[in-house]
Structure 1
Amino acid sequence: MSAPPSESSPPTSAAQQAARPSAAVAATALGLLLGLQPLTTDLYLPAFPALTRDLGAPMHLAQLTMSALLLAFGAAQLVWGPLADRWGRRPVLQAGLLLYILASLGAMLALDMHALVAARIVQGLGLAAAVVVARATVRDLYEPHEGAHVMSLALSGLGLIAISSPVIGGFVAQQFGWRGTFAFIGLSTLAIAVFVWLKLPETVPQRNLRALHPPTLAANWRRILVHPTFLAWSSLTACTYGALFIFLAGSSFVYIDTLGLSPTLYGLVLGSSSISYLIGTFVCRSWLVRLGMTGTIGRASYFTLAGGLSMGALSLAGVQAIWAIALPQMAIAFGHGMHQSCGQAGAVGPFRDQAGTAAALAGCLLATVAFGIGRWLGWAMDGTARPMALGIAFWATLTAVVGWTLVRRHGAPGSALPAGAAASRG
């Protein structure tokens, strides 16, 4: 009789080990995959008010093009993560990128807001696969502290994409309309897909043959969700992204409709925040060497809190000017570059055998927060900057609190393992 199937496939072969990408190639590939997030959200922002008018949609329905995408993005990760643990990273990545490219074509051809929202939901499904695979790949290849360094390199690449996306989006929107922005997104994603197909090999150390088995999946979710290190880092990434998402979802209306900027100038102003974010990822690598992950977050949280409180205070004082939003947002973006670099690596750190599932759960939490924020913002926007500014202030403050409490106490990978965790490997 043949032996019963084991829970994991044989370890990575010598050939697979030899195919391991260099840190530079890995960081570039991961940066491009993670860069799909700002490409998806930032590039069409300069066209956001125009497409809302063109499709004759109310504000709360237009906001669904952001919030529904994020909800699909979060929910789909719960499926893609275990699939990536079971079948490997490359098949999941290829399926997700194909889905994303087709959805971009659908968004370009949408005739009403409901069709555009549907296309954005499918984009979110494809985006989820790319991000889950990118985060899991970091854990496949590196230990947590080393992974934070490589993640910061990858997020520097994301920062470059974030800087260029609104600038390019503003130009494309003015020259070709809002449909042109989705055409550009689809073509850019096709180029990214070709690069990662050629350069990024399979990285999963062991395929978990029981990753999709319901009892195993439930046990893995339970183990991850109660782990204090996961809770600390995933809470940090969700809170810092909450502040960023409010800015992304509301800034085009504030800058263009309220403060009168053109789409091109709006893209340039938005780029200043992305430059600050990029600087944050560079500084993160220096601070990691001297302060470690938790020390880096503790220091970054001062910038986050200062930016959030100053933006909120200026808004309450009745100051409605470009600088009153842009300067505080630069401080928040600087901290965000560190929070995400450490947070994304830290959340999957204790779970080498379930990196895809852990990345999926962290991403689902982040996206759920963003969806709730998007629904609130669609109703709260009143033609002034105040709702956006106060929302950013709230989430920036919460980010700092999490950084100084949960991350400081439980952020060291492998610390405070729940009882019985070692026995629950699916």
Structure 2
Amino acid sequence: MSAGWVVVLLSLLLGVQPLATDLYLPALPSIATAFQAPMAQVQATLSALLLAFGTAQLLWGPLSDRWGRRPVLLAGLAAYALAAVACALATNIEQLILGRIVQGAAMGAAVMGARAIVRDLYAPTEGARVMSKGLTGLGLFAVISGPLGGWLTEWLGWRATMAALAVFGAAGLALVAWRFEETLPQRNPHALRPREMLRIWARIAQHPTFWAWALLAATSYGGLFTFLATSSFVFINVLGHSKTSYGLLMLSMSVVYISGTFMCRRLIPRLGVRRTVAVAAALTLTGGTLCGVLALAGLHTTWAIMGPYYLFILAHGVHQPCGQSGAVAPFPQAAGAASALAGFIMMVTAFAMGTWLGHRMADGAAADVYPLTNGLWFWAAAIATVAWTLVQRHGEARPAPQATAR
């Protein structure tokens, strides 16, 4: 594959995640009304998707190391499209949650595969730059997701958002079948043996470089997820925005995120990966702290939240490509397993936060901004701590030959 097609396919594979979340965020209040469902169950349509997404990667990773990236991607995208159809036809909240679980598990194949493909083809530093290009493409999908989701919900109802995901999944399946060429250099015939899987994961989990970058990606995603899980209720129910207006706010957030991925590619050749992350962490902490302090001062307005959040999401455009590529960098012959374990950690973090937010908002906090603002403040502090300590100490990628299968 040409370098251009690699970036296009990475963008497509990574883009299934923001589409599965951002596109239907404007529909969350409508779903709650349509099914007369409590807040915790409505939040579960998001948090259960992400838990299934993270858990399924633990299987998709070894499968891709055994059989290759291509068959795993084809199976995952087919299941993603079919699950979206099931969600669109759901007649109660329980069916919708079940459909989202299947969709999340299928989504894991695409995103895990994207991270593994980067390690198959590129050395660590170049991998971070290529991943940032793929995440720029993800940002473009996120740009259209918010406004499109708001428009579809406003005029066609929440089921239309799920139908749109089915169309995207089918298109992605066709493109991968047409253009994707296998990138796995050598299949591991032992990758699916339970004992071998546990041995490989244990080796990965003992590597300090893996933890430095995996925790950076997880904490940064925790902050993004906090915004995704609460923002529709805050901006629509508390601050009075229409669904379309909320979608435009999501568009602006995505544009800033894309700018962050460009900033990442500019800074890495000049500063190196670790110093780039340290600079971005200063923006993260500034944005998160401002968001929390302004809310405590009583400034519960759109721009008192979005202004500081732009700093946070700008830095997210640096932390994610560096974190996701850095976590798999020491494991060139077990990239699927390393990608899967890193993705699992990210999604367990999001699921835990989503569960807490669901109960917090069910207790009446959906009527204020604090779950959003305090959550961002917490994650900003966590991101800065990881970026300024673990990444600086252990962020230099060193191969771990013992993590490969024998």
Residue 169 of structure 1 corresponds to 149
SS where residue 35 of structure 1 aligns?
helix
1:218-229 → structure 2 map (5 Å cutoff): 218-229=198-209
Structure 1 residues 104 and 397: CA distance shift in structure 2, 3 A: same
1:51-90 → structure 2 map (5 Å cutoff): 51-90=31-70
Structure 1 residues 306 and 219: CA distance shift in structure 2, 3 A: same
Q: How far apart, CA to CA, are the structure 2 residues paired with 1:283 and 1:422?
A: 33
Q: Paired residue for 2:113, among 125, 133, 136?
A: 133
- Report the residue type matching 2:136 in the other structure: S
- Report the residue type matching 1:405 in the other structure: T
Per mean C-alpha deviation after superposition, the further-off stretch among 361-370 and 310-319 is 310-319
Contact 1:27 1:153 in 2 (8 A): yes
Q: Paired residue for 2:371, among 387, 392, 397?
A: 387
Structure 1 consecutive aligned stretches of length 4 or more whose deviation exceeds 2 Å: 421-425
Write the deviation string for residues 117-163 of structure 1: whole angstroms up to 9, x where unpaired: 00000000100000111110000011111111110110000011111
Write the deviation string for residues 216-274 of structure 1: whole angstroms up to 9, x where unpaired: 11110011001000000000000000000010000000000111100000000111111
Q: How far apart, CA to CA, are the structure 1 residues paired with 2:404 and 2:6?
A: 27
Question: Is 1:257 aligned to residue 257 of structure 2?
Answer: no
Listed as ranges, the gaps of 5+ residues in structure 2 are none
Q: How far apart, CA to CA, are the structure 2 residues paired with 1:150 and 1:28?
A: 11
Question: Is 1:409 aligned to residue 389 of structure 2?
Answer: no
Write the deviation string for residues 289-324 of structure 1: whole angstroms up to 9, x where unpaired: 101111110111011111100001111112110001
- Report the residue type matching 1:353 in the other structure: Q
Q: How far apart, CA to CA, are the structure 1 residues paired with 2:403 and 2:291?
A: 45
Q: Paired residue for 2:99, among 119, 134, 144?
A: 119
Q: Paired residue for 1:276, among 248, 256, 279?
A: 256
Per mean C-alpha deviation after superposition, the further-off stretch among 74-83 and 192-201 is 192-201
- Report the residue type matching 2:19 in the other structure: L
Residue 195 of structure 1 corresponds to 175
Q: How far apart, CA to CA, are the structure 2 residues paired with 1:425 and 1:243?
A: 33
Q: How far apart, CA to CA, are the structure 2 residues paired with 1:317 and 1:352?
A: 49
Count of residue pairs the alignment pairs up: 401
Contact 1:23 1:150 in 2 (8 A): no
Residue 18 of structure 1 corresponds to none
Contact 2:331 2:401 in 1 (8 A): no
Q: Paired residue for 2:84, among 104, 113, 116?
A: 104
Structure 1 residues 404 and 56: CA distance shift in structure 2, 3 A: same
Contact 1:156 1:281 in 2 (8 A): yes
1:424 Cα deviation (Å)? 4.9
Q: How far apart, CA to CA, are the structure 2 residues paired with 1:195 and 1:424?
A: 33
Q: How far apart, CA to CA, are the structure 1 residues paired with 2:286 and 2:252?
A: 17
Contact 1:377 1:388 in 2 (8 A): no
Question: Is 1:425 aligned to residue 396 of structure 2?
Answer: no
Q: Paired residue for 1:242, among 205, 222, 243?
A: 222
SS where residue 352 of structure 1 aligns?
coil
- Report the residue type matching 1:380 in the other structure: R
Write the deviation string for residues 326-370 of structure 1: whole angstroms up to 9, x where unpaired: 111111110000000111110000001100000000000000000
Q: TM-score, normalised by structure 2?
A: 0.97
1:284 Cα deviation (Å)? 0.6
Structure number with larger C-alpha Rg: 1
Contact 1:170 1:266 in 2 (8 A): yes
RMSD: 0.9
1:197 Cα deviation (Å)? 1.8
Q: How far apart, CA to CA, are the structure 2 residues paired with 1:131 and 1:423?
A: 25
Question: Is 1:184 aligned to residue 175 of structure 2?
Answer: no
- Report the residue type matching 1:395 in the other structure: W
- Report the residue type matching 1:345 in the other structure: S
Q: Paired residue for 2:341, among 361, 375, 393?
A: 361
1:423 Cα deviation (Å)? 4.0
Contact 2:213 2:326 in 1 (8 A): yes
Q: How far apart, CA to CA, are the structure 2 residues paired with 1:389 and 1:28?
A: 35
Q: How far apart, CA to CA, are the structure 1 residues paired with 2:226 and 2:207?
A: 28
- Report the residue type matching 2:373 in the other structure: A
- Report the residue type matching 1:141 in the other structure: L
1:425 Cα deviation (Å)? 2.6
